[in-house]
């Protein structure tokens, strides 16, 4: 038999197989229980069901599935000759015809979408829908994409692991030949360090920080400490600052702030204690590395520095801060017997979230003598 206008024969060979030398266009569904060989393009507008395949071979060259909302390619009870590693429906709805142009699917929710460009060298892409952590399936592993922009693998017991890309995210800030003064206003209080420059960053942004106010106007009572600056502070809610030389010792420290107005903010991490009124306090926003969206995870953090105390016999502590919280596992200290240049450094592991800010803090546990930094490096590398 032959198709109208085709001029080519459609026949059945001696083994009872259907032979189609050209294209097949099916507006409805098709059920296949024996071998099917199609050498031309195949456009399937309806459902394709391959059921109880136990030795039959299905070869579709140049296949295109057009059932945009209901058409599916289904394989059930496969026991030989066909390997199907993922038992999910596959839907591909091209928006252009065959013959050298890429076919991009109209994505259908909750399905695995597999798309291969035609006549472009065999490039292919898999499109995964965003889902939450799925229910584990006995004797199966799962691979899936979540709304945080990461791919995960899950075993049959429900243990989830992020699929990592080596050397994907890192951040660095440093200073060289800086002679950067770390001004110490208050003993036993951490001061955020300024003066860093950006190093290599991927998945992080760098902010040099600044001295917000060298001499504030007042300390106020808003249940939390409220600071009134001597001029426009230009901070935004969520910024992190260190306060020192405050009238009440309980008001010193590192805190996240909430903006009240252009010259006033409250301190999320410092409660008001007393001594409301005029103040000579100092506000510093230190240099920091901020975790970009999608870069959250577990990091190896290290820092090294060299410099000298302005006075003799002073004990300085250096520690990493994640926002306003101490990373108590990443700190070092040194007692400077004289003004010789000394080196310090340490490292540790820290879990960070998107938007977290990483600072270096300095504390003089002896008195309010300053420290001069010559060289320093703070770096994070995802593990």
Residues 36 and 124 reside in one and the same domain = yes
Residue 29 belongs to a domain: yes
Can you give the length of the chain in residues?
383
Residues 239 and 355 reside in one and the same domain = no
Residues 224 and 372 reside in one and the same domain = no
Domain boundary among 285, 300, 319: 285
Residues 90 and 237 reside in one and the same domain = no
Amino acid 37: pLDDT: 55
Structural domain containing residue 325:
170-207+288-382
Q: Containing H/E element for 285?
A: strand 282-285
Output the domain CATH number for residue 245.
Answer: 2.40.30.20
Amino acid 108: pLDDT: 42
Residue 142 belongs to a domain: no
Q: Residue 10: left (phi > 0), alpha (psi -120 to 50), or beta?
A: beta
In sequence order, the 6+-apart residues with CB closer than 8 A to the CB of 287 are 173, 192, 193, 194, 195, 196, 206, 207, 208, 209, 359, 360
Q: List per-residue pLDDT tens for the chain, 383 residues long.
A: 444 444 456 667 776 666 666 656 555 555 555 555 555 555 555 545 554 444 444 444 444 443 333 334 444 333 333 333 333 333 333 333 333 333 444 444 444 443 333 334 445 566 677 889 988 888 888 888 888 888 899 999 999 998 866 557 999 999 999 999 999 999 999 999 999 999 999 999 999 999 999 999 999 999 999 999 999 999 999 999 999 999 999 999 999 999 999 999 999 999 999 989 999 999 999 999 999 998 998 999 999 999 999 888 899 999 999 999 999 999 999 998 777 788 999 999 999 999 999 999 999 999 999 999 999 999 999 98
Domain boundary among 285, 301, 329: 285
Q: Are 331 and 302 in contact (CB under 8 A)?
A: no
CA distance between the termini of the chain:
65
Phi first, then psi: give them for residue 249, nearest 5 degrees: -60, -30
47 vs 64: CA distance, rounded Å: 12
Residues 85 and 42 reside in one and the same domain = yes
**pLDDT one-digit tens code per residue, 191-212:** 999 999 999 999 999 999 999 9
Q: Are 359 and 192 in contact (CB under 8 A)?
A: yes
Domain boundary among 79, 99, 129: 129
Q: How many CB atoms lie within 10 A of CB 17?
A: 14
Q: Are 128 and 134 in contact (CB under 8 A)?
A: no
- Lateral strand order in the sheet of 151-154: 142-145, 151-154, 160-162
Residues 37 and 123 reside in one and the same domain = yes
Residues 215 and 203 reside in one and the same domain = no
Residue 264 belongs to a domain: yes
Residue 149 belongs to a domain: no
Question: CA 250, 253, 256, 258 torsion: positive or negative?
Answer: positive
Residues 9 and 86 reside in one and the same domain = yes
Secondary structure string (H, E, C) spanning 115-146 = EECCCCCCCEEEECCECCCCCCCCCCCEEEEC
Q: Are 264 and 256 in contact (CB under 8 A)?
A: no
Which of these, 135, 241, 128, lies nearest to 192 by C-alpha position?
241
Say how many domains are in the chain: 3
Residue 144 belongs to a domain: no
Residues 117 and 215 reside in one and the same domain = no
Residue 141 belongs to a domain: no
Largest CA distance in the chain: 103
Residues 86 and 32 reside in one and the same domain = yes
Output the domain CATH number for residue 340.
Answer: 2.60.120.40
Residues 182 and 281 reside in one and the same domain = no
Q: Residue 310: left (phi > 0), alpha (psi -120 to 50), or beta?
A: alpha
Phi first, then psi: give them for residue 56, nearest 5 degrees: -75, 150
Q: How far is CA 81 from the centre of its chain?
A: 41
Q: Residue 188: left (phi > 0), alpha (psi -120 to 50), or beta?
A: left
Residue 254 belongs to a domain: yes
**pLDDT one-digit tens code per residue, 116-135:** 333 344 455 666 778 899 88
Residue 195 belongs to a domain: yes
Residues 234 and 337 reside in one and the same domain = no
Which of these, 340, 333, 337, lies nearest to 364 by C-alpha position?
333
128 vs 105: CA distance, rounded Å: 12
């Amino acid at each position: 038999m032959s198709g109208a206008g085709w001029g080519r024969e459609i026949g059945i060979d001696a083994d009872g197989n259907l032979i189609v030398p050209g294209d097949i266009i099916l507006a409805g569904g098709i059920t296949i229980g024996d071998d099917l060989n199609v050498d031309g393009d195949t456009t399937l507008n309806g459902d394709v069901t391959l059921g109880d395949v136990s030795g039959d071979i299905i070869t579709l060259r140049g296949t295109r599935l057009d059932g945009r909302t209901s058409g599916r390619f289904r394989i059930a009870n496969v026991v030989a000759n066909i390997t199907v590693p993922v038992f999910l429906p596959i839907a591909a709805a091209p928006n252009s015809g065959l013959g050298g142009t890429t076919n991009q699917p109209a994505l259908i929710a909750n399905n695995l979408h597999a798309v291969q460009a035609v006549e472009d060298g065999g490039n292919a892409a898999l499109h995964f829908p965003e889902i939450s952590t799925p229910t584990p399936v006995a004797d199966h592993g799962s691979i899936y994409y979540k709304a945080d922009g990461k791919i995960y693998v899950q075993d049959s017991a429900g243990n989830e692991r992020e699929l990592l890309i080596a050397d994907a995210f890192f951040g660095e800030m440093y200073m060289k030949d800086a002679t950067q003064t770390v001004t110490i206003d208050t003993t036993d209080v951490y001061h955020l360090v300024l003066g860093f420059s950006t190093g290599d960053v991927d998945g992080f942004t760098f902010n040099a920080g600044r001295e917000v106010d060298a001499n504030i106007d007042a300390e106020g009572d808003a249940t939390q400490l409220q600071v009134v600056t001597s001029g426009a502070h230009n901070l935004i809610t969520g910024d992190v600052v260190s306060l020192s030389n405050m009238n009440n010792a309980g008001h010193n420290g590192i805190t996240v702030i909430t903006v009240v107005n252009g010259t006033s903010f409250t301190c999320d991490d410092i409660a008001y204690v007393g001594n409301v009124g005029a103040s000579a306090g100092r506000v510093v926003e230190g240099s920091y590395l901020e975790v970009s969206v999608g870069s959250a995870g577990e990091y190896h953090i290290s820092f090294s520095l060299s410099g000298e105390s302005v006075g003799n016999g002073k004990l300085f502590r250096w520690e990493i801060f994640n926002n306003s919280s101490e990373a108590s596992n990443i700190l070092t200290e040194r007692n400077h017997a004289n003004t010789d240049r000394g080196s310090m450094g340490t490292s540790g592991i820290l879990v960070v979230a998107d938007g977290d800010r990483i600072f270096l803090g300095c504390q003089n546990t002896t008195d309010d003598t300053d420290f001069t930094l010559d060289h320093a490096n703070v770096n994070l590398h995802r593990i």
